[in-house]
Structure formats: structure tokens, C-alpha cells
Structure 1
Amino acid sequence: MRVLLTTWGSRGDVEPLVGLAVALRGLGAEARVCAPPDEEFVALLARAGVELVPLGPAVRSVVAGTRPPTVEDAFRLARELVATRFETLTAAAEGCDALLATGLMPAGARDVAERLGIHYVLACFHTLGLPSRHFPPGRRPGRQSPREETDNRVLWEQDAQRVNALYGEALNGQRAAVGLPPVDNVRDHVLTDRPWLAADPTLCPARGMTDLDVVQTGAWILPDERPLPAALEAFLAAGAPPVYVGLGSMAAHVSKDIARVAIEASRARGRRVVLARGWAGLAPIDDAEDCLVVGEVNQQALFRRVAAVVHHGGAGTTTTAGRAGAPQVVVPRIADQPYWAARVSELGIGAAHDGPTPTLDSLSAALATALTPETRARTSAVAAAIRPDGATVAAKLLLDEVRNPPPRRPTSPRA
């Protein structure tokens, strides 16, 4: 059996698909991944022995320029991704039995599957993009809802309109070109009425969060057996566990002052620092020996040996730190990051920083919470509850659904 997996987004969108591809391979299926051609993603898939089919522009070329992306950039990217999905996925899905899509609104993926007559699944790594009576939608580029509007039902309807404005014309133009009828609601068409949630239920419970029939598989974790670099091993052995500070691949426009604040806040708590350079290009603030800068390393191994993890609040980093039993300080900026920060605080496994711009005092206070014995004990308990087999669960389910597809409500064509 052959499966095509596709995404466009940060490492937190790509690595889970590689974990799923490896799990599918373990069950005898052939899986390939369509993903952005960033160098680190190419290396990631090569390390796992998974075929990469380049999809769209490199993420770093979009988010790590001299300025943050504008609304106009978002609309241009939306059109580009729809077109490239129709072209690239159609070729890559030849001979495949299923297509699973995730990442930035994968408009075009379901349509390719529909055209080819193969099984389609939409997966997500949190519930925030799923329509809900319990919370409003997140922000998207386009016309924003009035501030006085508080009815979640209305807000989600307006969210659907924003998705249509971003993707509708391009998607329906491509559908018409291959003989498919237009769709009215692009968002709900992409999501389907039965999306998958690739997140651990301890960290991200799905029950009651949406009216959709969500299938929660658990997080898709790619095992990492790489040794830590020799310099990092020596640094860890030279003293008490340090604080890890990393802001992820989407943090290209954070203030470089975050490095100074994080290092000084850690020092104020008597801790050394492992500073991840990342796309933000973080660097040490002096020549002191209590700070080591690292590139991309095995976080699964490293997080088991640190005192706390200060990060941006991506789903992948939150899950990795949670599994490792490492207390967390989340400094959220965009998208799902405030949600993960809130969950870390609610679970008692760390602290949620109030806002994206920490000061020495605010980050030091958050670290004080994360470094208590009580937080450490709670993180150990939560770590024991996080399941490691989500990718295998999803792989088995996907293969079962290809053989016996579940019923779906059809998409309503435009009147």
C-alpha cells in the first residue's frame, strides 16, 4: 500500500509526518512526504530514510526575510500553495491509495485526492482551527471581525469567509480546470467532518472542544537516537542541569534581546544556559563559560538532562519537553502558542509567560515557578501519562480506513 503525506509549515508540521511515515513503513506500507524544501527538512527526511517530494517555497524564505510577512504576502502565498498542491500532489500521488494533509490550510489536497479517487484525511496538531462553540477562531489575514462581536457561532462563520477570501478563487479555479464542481466553504471542505488530531490527550484533550467527529490518535513522534554533540555532553557534565532556551524555526523576527534576557534570568536563578541558535540567530551576550550555543540537536535526549525548557510554545516542543519530564516556561507569540502556554500552566508542568516580550524580572519569575520541586514532580507524573505510540496508532488507522473507508458527508457544491 502507498500513502502520500503532505504539509507546508515549520518543523513542528514536518517532523510529525516523518514520524508517521516511519510508522507506516514499519507496517509494510510505502510512504512519501511532500513538504517544503528547507535544508533542515531535507536533512530530517534523509536521516529517517523517507522520500521527500519538494512542495512550494522554502518556509525560511517566506518567514525569515528582512521584514515579517504582510497580508499581501499571505494572499499571494495562499494562491501559490493551491496551485503547487494541484501540480505537485497530483504527480506525487500517482499509484497511492491515500493522501493525508496537514500544516498551513492545505487547500487543494482533498481536491487532488477527489480527482484521483483515493482516500483523504485531514490531520491537525491542536484543536484551535476546528469550529467550536466554546472558543473563538484565531486570527487570519483578511477582514477582521468587529471587536464587539462575541458570538462564537458568528465569529466562526466570519472565519470561514476569511478562508474563502484567501483560497476560494484559486481553489475553485483549479477545480474547474480538472472538471470538479466548486465548493462554497473552503475551510470545512478541507477539514472534513472527521479530522484527525495528532496530539496527546493529556496535553491537548479533544472531547467537547468541537462539534466535529475528531479522531484523536496521540502525538506523532519520530524517535531520535542521535548522540548529543561532544561539546554539549562536556557542558552538561561540567555542572548542574542548565536551562534550555530555544524559540523554534518560526521565530525569525523575535528581538535579539531575548537572548540577553534569557541568559540573565537563568543566571539570576543560579542556572547555566544552553541557547539554541535557531532561525532567530540567537547568540551569547559575553564570553562567560556558563552559556553554550547549539544548533539543531536531539531534543528528546537533551530535555531529559535540563532543569527547564524555555520555548515559544509549539506543539512539538511542548510535547517533547512534556515526555522528557522537563519543566517548561512558554513565551507565546502567535497561532496555537498561547494555547500550549495555557495548558502548561493548567497542568502544573511549568509557567506561561504573559506576552511575547519577556523582561529580566518577568522571565526570572516564570523560571522560579518552573524550577520548584513541586513543578518537577508534576512534570514527572505528566510525562508518565503521555503515550509514545500515536504515530503507530495513526498508521494502523489509516491503513484500516483505506481498506474500509468511513462514511463522509458530501461537500455541498455552490448553488
Structure 2
Amino acid sequence: MSEHHQIYIKANSLLLYQSVFNHQVGKAFLNLLHQLSLTETGLNYKINCLQAYGIWFKTLANFNQSWQDYLIEQILLDDNPFSQQVQRKALSDLPSSLLTATRHDLKILQEISNWNPQNTFNSLPSWQIAHTFLNFFHQSQNWTEELETLAKHYRQYGTGIFAQYKALQWKEALLGIKNFDPIQIDEIVGYELPKETLIKNTECLLAGLPALHVLLYGSRGNGKSSLVKALLNQYSEQGLRLIEVPKEFFQDLPLILEKVREQPQKFIIFVDDLSFEEDDETFKALKVVLEGSAIAKAKNVVVYATSNRRHLIKEYFSDRPRPSEADEVHSWDTQQEKLSFSDRFGLTLTFESANQETYLKIVHHLAKIANLGLPTDELDFKAKQWATRHNGRSGRTARQFIDYLQGELNFTNKQT
């Protein structure tokens, strides 16, 4: 039996890690093995094998990965009974048959990663590329001995989409956000008290302690959303994940909770720019998440919502109770329920409009990070002028000003 025939049989005998070949690269590899394993001969057989090799080569080139890097990455992301259970239990507490199956698969996968089709296609170039990352598998002579290290990796980073992405969005399904805003905690200044409070609440969540749902309230452009995003960048290595839920999908909030409830990671349900119309029924789904229902609260989930409105449900003067036969008898109770919706958040953090002192403090801080090196008087003058001509004093305005100034200075330097 030929070597590639043996490899093909082994690839199809995996017990837990079959899905490592579900990706485009893996499918091209299995197709190559399939073509090589056929007992046919002649011109058509050779052409089919050459075409399969070309497709596999091109697919690897598209993803700019070595074959071994691809395979190891898929193992580290794979969502299977072993990778799921080992996140919650010690290896010694897992069924021995599960551990045996895992070792069986790792042995096969190591053989597959080392297989070189160049022995068959020696007249064609082989795909050679330096490792894009290095980990314990690259340095191991025997992958079956890396079970504990693999278990630690799964516990820290999770599996599946939660390992692949730190930020996700819900649109009838969980979708990964590939290019997430890279803003960092130390870039946000001028709002130290709400910043410190939100950091402590998030650290309680990560530590498995009770954490509160939070409403971040204040005028636009003062760093509410940026702070939540920066928290994710700060703590994602500790298992924090963020799921952004647009308002039109609020009805799916209970479903989202059930999807993440048993995951070992901690989750921020992020709701940006929250407000409701007077007759909006979607707030009831959020109310269930905030207050709970007959189903127990998910202890690994908090809701962080931003809003420009302190009262989240818009109120009109026509809503005020007036004595009339057509009015609800206890209409004031109904109105109070609407107005007190924001009270259902455990914490409300206020981001006040930036005065000139706060605005300039943010400008100076961002200018220091950007290494602009302008004299203080000149920077202050330009910053005040920018705020007057554009969107007023706010953290967002300060960021836009620094971005503009950085581009202007770099362009001027290149011209000279």
C-alpha cells in the first residue's frame, strides 16, 4: 500500500478532530489524497492528480500558511467533545476513552502534518513558507504527550468562533469581527471615575464574582463606546469576549444567552446608542435579560449599553396622565415603568460633556501618544480652533483633531 494511500485512510479514521479538514485548505488536501489513492492509471489519472495538487498549492498560497501551520491552527480552534469538556474539567476527570481517542487523533494528525507530497510531485514546486507562528506542537516530537498543554490552551482561549474572534456580532447568528477597533485603555482620559468603575466591574466578571449590568450615559463623542471596546482589548487574553447586538435583534437576546451560558469565557453583550420609542416592544426582551426570568441568570454575561438619553424610552407631553374616560386608570404607574427602565441596570455611569479643561487634557494625552511634539501653546490654540469650527469639545473631537494634525505634519515633513 502506498504512503499517500495510508495517509488517506488515517485521515478518514479520525474520531474527534474530523472537522479540521472542513476548511477550504483541508478539503483541497483530502481531495488530493483521494485522487492519489485511486487505483486508476493512465493520462486522466495523472491529470486529475496534478489538478488536485495545483488546487491544494493555490489554496495554501491564498492563505499564506504552511501546511503544518494550517493543521495546528485548526486543532487549536477545533470544537469537539474533548476541547469542550476539558475547559470545564481536569484531564483526570475526563473519561479514559475520550483521552484515548484524543491521543489517537493527535498521532494521526502529526503524521499528516509531516507528510510531504513532494515525493510524488517532484517535478513541481512545493509550497514552502516559514512558520507564521510557533507553539508547543511545532517543538514537540510526540503530540500525544502534549495533552495537558493542549488542555491549558483550550481553557485560556476557548474553541471555535470564541477562540478565533474576541469580538462578535449577532445577526441571526454569531459572526466574528475580524478587524476590531484597536483602541487601548490608556488612550481614554478625562473620565477617570466611570472608567475606573467599569474596569472594576469587568474584573469582577472575569474573576467569577457578581458583576452588574451597566448603562453608560452621556452626550455623544465622550468615549462611552470606546471605553467598552478598550476593555475587550485589555482583557481578551483573560477570556473576555464581546457580542454586539443591534437593536433590531433584541428579540434574540434570550437565545444568545443560552448559546454562551455554558462557555468558560466571560461575555459583554454590547448595545450601542440605546433608546426606545414609546410603543417599542423590543425593550421587553432586554428587560428579561436585565431582570431575569424563570431561567437562571447567566453568571458569565453582563450587558454594557451606551445611550445619549438618561431616560431610555422617549416620553412625550401627550403621555402625561390626564383624567379622561379613555385613559388607563393607573396610567402614571405605566409611565413610571417606562421612565424607570434605565434603573434596571445595576450601574449608571455618567459621561458629562467635556469642558475646555477636560478637552485640552484629552488633546495633550493623545498628542503625547502620537509623539507630535508641538509646543503647548500652539497645540492648545489649534485644538480650540478645531473644536469651534467642527463638533464642539468632546473626546471624539479631540481624536479627530489629533488624527488630522498627525496627517498634516507627516505630509508637511515629506514635502520638505
Report the TM-score, using the length of structure 2 for normalisation: 0.27
More helix by share: 2
Higher gyration radius (CA): 2
